[in-house]
Amino acid sequence: MNPQFISRIQCREVNRVKKIDSVDISPVADQKIETADGETLLKAVWSVPVIAGTSKISARLNSHYQAARRFLARYTDDVLIRQAKRQKAFYDKYSFPFLPHEMNSSYEVTLNESGILSLFTDRYEYAGGANGFTIRRGDTWSLESGFPLHIDLNKHKRALLRLAEEQALRRQERGEAVYNEPLRRNLRRYWKPDQWYLTRDGLALYYGQVTIAPHPEGIPVFVLPRERLYEVKRLKALCRKIKMP
């Protein structure tokens, strides 16, 4: 056999990227407690995922989440602490009772197989008053490229909203959830094509707190099973693209 041909085969074997089916993940956490005259003004706790390994994929994902970690540290110093100090000074001036502020940011992995990593991060903030507020962000990564999995859900908006509305109505009928009326209009009004992540059960669409449901309902989530998506002709291509297990 031609030595040059053998050399080319060997080069291809060396350069071939091993397919990554899943990754090992562990959390790294930070905490900051701000006090004044022995009184707690703010307690902030946040954690981000750390992807094990030395591959370009893990490096890319870790770079993203370490940037998020640094952002939360700056946000705590530049926004939350200053906000707590201003409110404490105002409350002291008028002898109002001050309640310590809080921030807690944590993540949950919802899918880590078949070359896909999906998770969401919830950031809860409390700045006095009756209730705190939670903001969710969903991330879905291709473990083949190390880049976010981009899906234009706007192309399938009408079909997806119909499935979400069906699920919401069933929950209301069973007394499992309460939604603000008019439900159909609110689903359309507060729709955001980047508010999704994947689970083993299917595609999860979520809405911001207090957008389509009262505050006690938290973050409304509609998990649309793969089999239901396949029933809708327009969504078959979407199922193939996201390659859910």
Same domain for 122 and 44: yes
Q: What is the mean pLDDT of residues 128-148?
A: 94
- Reported as a single tens digit per residue, the pLDDT across 120-130 is 999 999 999 88
Same domain for 194 and 104: no
Same domain for 29 and 134: yes
The span from the CA of 198 to the CA of 112, in Å, is 9
Quote the pLDDT of residue 234: 67
- Determine the longest span between alpha carbons in the chain, in angstroms: 91
Instruction: Examine residue 97 and say whether the peptide bond preceding it is cis (omega within 30 degrees of 0).
Output: no
pLDDT at 219 over 60: yes
* Residue 7 lies inside a defined structural domain of this protein: no
Residue/partner pairs of 201-207 with CB below 8 Å, 24 or more apart: 201/225, 201/226, 202/226, 202/228, 202/229, 202/244, 203/160, 203/229, 203/238, 203/242, 203/244, 204/110, 204/138, 205/160, 205/164, 206/120, 206/136, 206/138
> What pairing do the DSSP bridges indicate for beta strands 133-142 and 116-126?
antiparallel
Quote the pLDDT of residue 129: 87
- Contact (CB, 8 A) for 22 and 113: yes
Six-digit token string for 29: 């956490």
Same domain for 175 and 133: no
Domain CATH code at residue 65: 3.30.565.40
- Contact (CB, 8 A) for 117 and 61: yes
Quote the pLDDT of residue 122: 98
Mean pLDDT, all residues of the chain: 90
Percent of the chain topping pLDDT 90:
79
Domain CATH code at residue 192: 3.90.640
Same domain for 167 and 89: no
Same domain for 194 and 129: no
Give the domain-ending residue among 108, 142, 176.
142
Strand partners, 124: 104, 134
Between these two residues, 24 and 130, which has the higher pLDDT value?
24
Domain total of the chain? 2
* Residue 233 lies inside a defined structural domain of this protein: yes
Give the domain-ending residue among 142, 162, 187.
142
Its pTM stands at 0.89
* Residue 220 lies inside a defined structural domain of this protein: yes
- Contact (CB, 8 A) for 144 and 136: no
Same domain for 130 and 165: no
* Residue 5 lies inside a defined structural domain of this protein: no
* Residue 10 lies inside a defined structural domain of this protein: no
Quote the pLDDT of residue 222: 98
> What pairing do the DSSP bridges indicate for beta strands 101-113 and 39-51?
parallel
Same domain for 88 and 38: yes
- For every residue of 143-207, which 3-state class applies, written as one string? CCCCCECCCCHHHHHHHHHHHHHHHHHHHHHCCCCCCCCCHHHHHHHCCCCCCEEEECCEEEEEC
Same domain for 168 and 98: no
Same domain for 161 and 135: no
* Residue 47 lies inside a defined structural domain of this protein: yes
Give the domain-ending residue among 116, 142, 168.
142
Q: What is the mean pLDDT of residues 200-215?
A: 96
pLDDT band at 96 (very low <50, low <70, confident <90, very high): very high
The span from the CA of 245 to the CA of 237, in Å, is 15
Quote the pLDDT of residue 19: 75
Q: What is the mean pLDDT of residues 12-37?
A: 82
Measured CA to CA in angstroms, residue 136 lies from 92, 115, 220 at distances of 33, 23, 11
pLDDT at 110 over 80: yes
Q: Which of 10-24, 77-91, 111-125, 169-183 has the lowest mean pLDDT?
A: 10-24
pLDDT band at 6 (very low <50, low <70, confident <90, very high): very low
> What pairing do the DSSP bridges indicate for beta strands 202-206 and 221-225?
antiparallel
Quote the pLDDT of residue 214: 97
Neighbouring residues of 64: CB distance < 8 A, sequence distance ≥ 6 = none
Same domain for 127 and 32: yes
- Reported as a single tens digit per residue, the pLDDT across 144-166 is 999 999 888 998 999 999 999 99
* Residue 11 lies inside a defined structural domain of this protein: no
Which residue range is the domain that position 100 belongs to? 25-142
Same domain for 238 and 176: yes
* Residue 82 lies inside a defined structural domain of this protein: yes
